[in-house]
Amino acid sequence: MNELLKTIIKNNRHWTSEGKVATYIPGLSNANPDALGICVTNLNGDEYCAGDFDTKFTVQSISKVVTLLLAILDQGKDKVFSKVGMEPTADAFNSMLTLENRNSHRPINPMINAGAIVTVSMVAGGSCDEAFNRILEFTRKITGNPEININESVYLSEKETGNRNRALAYFMKSTGAIEGNVEEVLDVYFRQCSIEATCKDIARIGAMLANDGILPWSGEEVVPKSVARIVKSIMATCGMYDASGKFAVHIGIPAKSGVGGGILASVPGKMGIGVLGPALDSIGNSIGGIKVLEELSRDMDLSIF
């Protein structure tokens, strides 16, 4: 497996020159656009890595998977999906169009920014600090990495420049989609996006989901099978923003991307995959990471379809 992964990284590294790192969050602009790495964790807990797999990056929208899991555990699926939908979108991840034109009281899915902000508002906690600490501790648990923390400079950068997310959040507050203090909800959202991880960390999250909520390295069930399956389904249909359909056709694996360059993928019953490639395509997905996953899926016949 290690040799296969090394070959795939080598075959696809040139794609990084076709993309650009995210700059709309200033703290992300320092990422190395040439970085490309992958880790695979199977359901026995065995791990295989290649390329720049130990490079740290902020998970950004990959954190939406974690908060969706927590929100469902805290509130139940019926309440969560009364506040946020589960349908794919053809609009950008930070678009306001569907809120204004289609369904003002319920964002279209929890993998776009509007839906994720509503989801964050449903994570239990007596304060924003308590809610975020629950997200952080849950992330540490499902990655098996107690050292995970936030990148403070990226967090402050996101908080300072996140005016579009503020516009989304205040709009949703006005329609009743968000309960509670908007700035506190946003602070949790900005902090969760700034959690720093590696390919190995997100591969382990993918492996837990692939194993129906059971940690492969300990056998502990952290998420009920039914909840893990809901989240994998939403990843498969909505996790790659408005490129989710194309990703399903060419790669066919439940996945969630982030503008930090990471992609978390989960092959049900087989493995979790973590990929990093900070150079992004025009939609906001890792251009090299997608090519790596496409070759891996083809070589190992991983498509779920």
Point out the catalytic residue in the list 40, 48, 59, 61: 61
3-state percent helix, strand, coil for the chain, nearest multiple of 5: 50, 10, 35
Measured between alpha carbons, how far is 188 from 270 in angstroms, rounded to an integer?
A: 33
Residue 24 is a catalytic residue: no
Residue 155 is a catalytic residue: no
Are 269 and 259 spatial neighbours (Cβ–Cβ below 8 Å)? Answer: no
Point out the catalytic residue in the list 231, 259, 267, 292: 259
Task: Tell me the two tokens of residue 62.
Answer: 């990959």
Measured between alpha carbons, how far is 275 from 224 in angstroms, rounded to an integer?
A: 26
Point out the catalytic residue in the list 40, 48, 59, 64: 64
Measured between alpha carbons, how far is 185 from 131 in angstroms, rounded to an integer?
A: 9
Residue at token pair 């589960």 = 86
Buried b vs exposed e over 272-284: b needs ≥16 C-beta within 10 Å? bbbbbbbbbbebb
Point out the catalytic residue in the list 118, 241, 244, 267: 241
Q: For the CA atoms of 56, 138, 280, 300, what is the dihedral angle to 10 degrees? A: 90
Residue 10 is a catalytic residue: no
Point out the catalytic residue in the list 118, 182, 188, 189: 189
Task: Return the amino acid letter for 227.
Answer: V
Residue 189 is a catalytic residue: yes
Distances in whole angstroms, Cα of residue 35 to Cα of each of 30, 32, 127, 206, 247? 12, 6, 37, 21, 21
Residue 170 is a catalytic residue: no
Please give the positions annotated as active site. 61, 64, 189, 241, 259
